[in-house]
């Protein structure tokens, strides 16, 4: 009898241990990537974004692909409310009004939104979208420009003054942290090298409640503005959270470990308001140390 009781006690202890481990695991988050139209290679980059999100162990990922440019999009109505975060790899024609309203309600009601590279080029005539992204690929007359001066202070340039959106030739560049306390960037080196990519400059928009997390210097000898341009930032929209990275032009740029980690952390923060992925991988880049995964 004692032997049986010991076996029962051991079994109960194992069950309790397994339950404790399960309880300690983070909940699974649901992400939706939206693509289908883009002036970039979305058929190649969407699978990379999907893999990055799944690799961190926090997300299950679905993809909603719109009809092609010029086709009827009236039936494109993703169920945004079924997801914790929506990741846009989309830059194309306007969504149906019903889909736009659904998306605004989703983010305003507490949904997460991640904007990747050319996704901030899209929807210039959609006011709520411009509020969500803060800055986009727009002309100089569209809205304010945001840069950071040499003292680390935010500088706003009114619309009509200075350059509009653009970029020089692709090259590797240093990403400089401007907020090391935000959950997305906490613990990252003050500077790290990003792989060859487009360095966006002159982005324009309302830039309301915009928190710049990192910048890159747009060098004039690389076709740039000789200014520190925002690379990643966050904005609240109603109860929702929006994370933008303007890095990620190509599959190679998306394989930069700095891009991978900021995407994973940014998506978790947008979905939950927190980041549990606090340990940096050993291959995270440092100053002048580019790190690209296969």
Residue 2 pLDDT: 42
What is the β-pairing status of strands 191-197 and 59-65?
Answer: unpaired
Residue 17 lies in a domain: no
Residue 123 lies in a domain: yes
Given a contact cutoff of 8 angstroms between Cβ atoms, the answer to whether 158 and 140 are in contact is no
Residue 10 lies in a domain: no
Strand partners, 33: 63, 87
Residue 214 lies in a domain: yes
Mean of the pLDDT values across residues 115-121? 98
Residue 26 pLDDT: 58
| Average confidence score pLDDT of the chain | 92
Residue 15 lies in a domain: no
Residue 16 pLDDT: 40
Residue 153 lies in a domain: yes
Domain count, the chain: 1
Q: What is the CATH number of the domain that holds 238?
A: 3.40.50.880
Mean of the pLDDT values across residues 49-70? 97
Residue range 181-208, pLDDT digits in tens: 999 999 999 999 999 999 999 999 999 9
Given a contact cutoff of 8 angstroms between Cβ atoms, the answer to whether 278 and 187 are in contact is yes
Handedness of CA 82, 83, 86, 90 (dihedral sign): negative
Host domain of residue 51: 29-67+77-272
Given a contact cutoff of 8 angstroms between Cβ atoms, the answer to whether 60 and 116 are in contact is no
What are the structure tokens assigned to 65, written together? 């692909």
**Residue 21: which pLDDT band, with cuts at 50, 70 and 90?**
very low
Residue 77 pLDDT: 98
Residue range 226-253, pLDDT digits in tens: 999 999 999 999 999 999 999 999 999 9
Residue identified by tokens 């959106």 is 165
**What's the chain look like in SS3?**
CHHHHHHHHHHHHHHHHHHHHHHHCCCCEEEEEEECCCCCCHHHHHHHHHHHHHHCCCEEEEEEECCCCCCCCCCCCCCHHHCCEEEECCCCCCCCHHHHHHHHHHHHCCCEEEEEHHHHHCCCCCHHHHHHHCCECCCCCCCEEEEECCCCCEEEECCCCCCCCECCCCEEEEEEECCCCCCCCCCCCCEEEEEEECCCECCEECCCCCEEEEEEEECHHHCCCCEEEEEEEEEEECCEEEEEECCCCCHHHHCEHHHHHHHHHHHHHHHHCCCCCCCCCCCCCECCECCECC
Residue 97 lies in a domain: yes
Q: Could you give the C-alpha distances from 281 to 27, 115, 141, 237, 259, in angstroms and in order?
A: 21, 23, 42, 31, 12
pTM: 0.91
Length of the chain: 294
Mean of the pLDDT values across residues 35-60? 97
Residue 1 lies in a domain: no
Given a contact cutoff of 8 angstroms between Cβ atoms, the answer to whether 236 and 272 are in contact is no
Mean of the pLDDT values across residues 208-235? 98
Q: Could you give the C-alpha distances from 178 to 81, 90, 243, 279, in angstroms and in order?
A: 33, 27, 15, 19
């Amino acid at each position: 009898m004692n032997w049986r009781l010991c076996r029962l006690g051991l079994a109960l202890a194992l069950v309790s241990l397994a339950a404790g481990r399960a309880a300690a695991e983070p909940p699974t988050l649901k992400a939706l990537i939206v693509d289908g139209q883009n002036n970039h290679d979305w058929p190649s980059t969407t699978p990379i974004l999907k893999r990055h999100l799944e690799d961190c162990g926090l997300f299950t990922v679905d993809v909603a692909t719109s009809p092609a440019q010029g086709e009827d999009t009236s039936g494109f109505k993703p169920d945004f409310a079924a997801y914790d975060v929506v990741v846009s790899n989309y830059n194309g024609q306007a969504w149906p009004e019903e889909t736009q309203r659904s998306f605004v309600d989703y983010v305003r009601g507490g949904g997460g939104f991640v904007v990747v590279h050319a996704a901030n080029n899209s929807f210039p005539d959609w006011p709520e979208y411009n509020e969500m992204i803060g800055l986009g690929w727009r002309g100089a007359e569209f809205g304010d420009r945001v840069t950071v001066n040499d003292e680390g202070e935010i500088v706003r340039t009114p619309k009509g003054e200075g350059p509009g959106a653009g970029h020089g030739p692709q090259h590797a560049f240093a990403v400089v942290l401007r907020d090391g306390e935000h959950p997305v960037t906490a613990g990252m080196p003050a500077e790290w090298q990003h792989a060859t990519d487009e360095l966006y400059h002159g982005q324009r928009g309302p830039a309301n409640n915009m928190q710049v997390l990192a910048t890159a210097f747009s060098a004039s000898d690389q076709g740039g503005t000789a200014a520190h341009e925002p690379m990643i930032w966050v904005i609240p929209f109603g109860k929702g959270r929006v994370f933008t990275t303007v890095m990620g032009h190509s599959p190679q740029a998306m394989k930069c470990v700095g891009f991978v980690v900021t995407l994973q952390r940014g998506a978790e923060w947008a979905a939950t308001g927190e980041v549990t992925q606090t340990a940096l991988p050993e291959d995270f880049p440092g100053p002048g140390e580019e790190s690209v995964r296969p």
